Amino acid sequence: MTTLNVKAGPMLRYDNVDLTSGIYHAYAMIVTEDATSDYQLTPTLQYRWEDATSVSATNDGKTAVTENESHKQSEAIKLHQYHGKEGSFTFWRFKIEVPLADRELAVHYSIDGEAHPNSQSEAIKGMTGHTFFVPSKTDNFRWAGHSCNGFSASVDEKEFNGPNPLWDDLLKAHASKPYHAVIGGGDQIYCDTLVREPEMQEWNNQSDPKKRMKMPLTDEIRTCIDRYMFNHYCEWFGGGSFAKSIAQIPMINMLDDHDLIDGFGTYPDDLMRAPVFNYVGARGYFYFLLFQLFVNDEVDGVSETSHPNKSMIIGGDGVYIPFKNHSLLSYLGPKQWILLADCRSERKLDQICSKATYQRLFDAVRKLPPGVEHLIFLLGVPLAYPRMVFLERTLSSSMNPLIMLAKGLSPGFTNNFNGQVELLDDLGDHWCAGPHKHERNWLVERVQEVALEKHLRVSYISGDVHAAGVGVFYGYHQHDPSLDPKYSLAVITSAIVNTPPPPAVISMLNKLASKKHRSLFYCGTKETMVPLFETDLNDQKQKDKYIIGARNWCSVEYLTATGELEFDLRVEKVRGGGETKSYAVKAPAPKWDVAKQHHHLLLTKNFDKDVGTLRGTGKVGEPAKA
């Protein structure tokens, strides 16, 4: 019998549904140690499906599945081989194709052979197989959103009982009512501890940022970066409750900065092009594609027409990395799709995505089939979030006294990469940062145009900030949100693992969040934050109603009876306890009916006057709560 020494996996990734054939497409992947695995037969995955009503999952994904009417097998392709001092390891990718049926399906899969006793993957130990679920052809996906799936280098993990508590909460919900996808909004892994590797010490400890930027990229450092990325991914994606989750709920992921290294893309050009720092970003992106998208450009190419992942949108060339932009557009049911924008590969101080990439994203959205009502637009960094303009300007000043003081008294206040204030790269990452504000407003306008054109309710979902909240965009005119093409929730779910900001920061953010912003008035749009958290985690009334500082994840479900899309933020009640409280908000179905010739009116303040028949009774800025 074939024996495989599994270092990571099995992991699942959902791709798309072929609407012509009605075939659901997904992938599984494992990473195996070559020296102790038997490859006389190419690794093969067996899978079969049956009516999900006869199957119930447990938190471990175990299930009793009898012989079914449908069965397939998938022979792996060799996606990549890693070579290091500890040996060589192979990435095996399996294609999974399941025809959508009139009922939800339970798909049971297993890999031929047996696991080597030294297999490290948590998901393979003691398991003969796993089960995941595929919705019926008429049902919409039930999915879970998350971000910031790791700890910052300075955090004491013991204070939070490690990374598992909220993943266990998600698995408990999955066992009760299965999720069809788990969607990562960025920072699925934190690669910042790379700087602790022995070979990185000379570079990391160089106190002069200019000298550090000139340090050469040696073969020793190249080897170190690849070794770290490979082992860190295998450990994080192969261990704990996260590994158990992605073995039974297919992933859809998009990256943010920590998937590469803290702040990548938000530093000045000289640092971004510095040999060592630049290579960190390049290899980080390579391993993001490999471990999170199950993609290797050398194997799969970069042509959308021939790419094996039909959700893939290939955008413009990376600015600081040798890869093109990799964005995704995936089917989540007849009524909902999700667009995941790669906002990192082309990022620089004055750009988040190129116009070429935006054009390809909107071209893909315009090709969505009739009948789609909800488009979820995933952006790693929140599009609507309390402004900190004064702080940004102060910290970026060339004569900033805080930097001058910190260099002498508190080196930890400045980052090790170029001596800027540590907080500045976080502020510079935000869409509302000065250099990005014009691009942000332009993007909101284009989204509103395509929403009207395609009759879509667009909702945003993001992470990054280690807190939960909901922003909202709405038309300058006041009418029922369901009749407002500009009405868009901007859900923030962060972090499922990492620590929240200090209470004083949360309090400050709440004070800033109450403001209604006018930066989009020129196109007839208002924005604010939703007062979703009127009661705290102990069910007591509170003043801080807009942003909550506790670990969280988001359960998302299409409500068939009303056509609404419900975003249910599950917020940890006690630090490290894993038990969550629900805060739900609903995006209304798109119910407006505006003649083609009136489209241009939506970009003016006079919309309400010119198309007054749309006036309803809804209160603008107050989305329906569950």
The larger pLDDT score, comparing residue 27 to residue 116, is at: 27
Model pLDDT, residue 469: 96
Convert the pLDDT of each residue in 170-186 to its tens digit: 999 999 999 999 999 99
CA distance 218 to 185: 33
For residue 412 the two structure tokens come to 């930890």
**Which residues constitute the domain of residue 25?**
1-137
Out of 429, 447, 480, a domain closes at 429
Is 312 part of any domain? no
Q: How far apart are CA 136 and CA 333, in angstroms?
A: 9
Over residues 418-437, the mean pLDDT reads 63
Per the domain annotation, does 599 fall within a domain? no
Q: What is the mean pLDDT of residues 467-491?
A: 90
Provide the β-strand partners of residue 338: 330, 376
CATH of the domain at 64: 2.60.40
User: Would residue 148 count as lying in a domain?
Assistant: no
The residue from 137, 153, 180 where one domain ends is 137
Give CB contacts under 8 A, 24+ apart, made by 446-451.
446/358, 446/362, 447/377, 447/488, 448/485, 448/486, 448/488, 448/523, 448/525, 448/602, 448/603, 449/599, 449/603, 450/362, 450/365, 450/366, 451/375, 451/485, 451/486, 451/488, 451/590
> Is 414 inside a domain boundary?
yes
| Model pLDDT for residues 237-255, shown as the tens digit of each residue | 999 999 999 999 999 999 9
In a domain, 266, yes or no: no
Between CA 328 and CA 185 the distance in angstroms is 12
Q: What is the mean pLDDT of residues 295-314?
A: 94
Of 148, 149, 256, 192, residue with least CA distance to 416: 192
What pLDDT shows up at residue 125?
64
Q: Does 66 reside within a domain? A: yes
Report how many helices (DSSP H) and strands (DSSP E) the chain contains, helices first.
15, 25
Q: Is residue 130 part of a domain?
A: yes
Residue ending a domain, among 429, 455, 481, is: 429
What is the number of domains present in the chain? 2
Residue 613 lies in a domain: no
Question: Which residue, among 167, 141, 27, has the nearest Cα to 376 in the 3D structure?
Answer: 141
Residue with the larger pLDDT of the pair 549 and 403? 549
Helices (H), 126-239: 165-176, 201-205, 209-214, 219-237
Give the model confidence (pLDDT) of 587-602 as tens digits. Answer: 999 998 855 435 444 5
pLDDT tier, 116 (very low <50, low <70, confident <90, very high otherwise):
confident
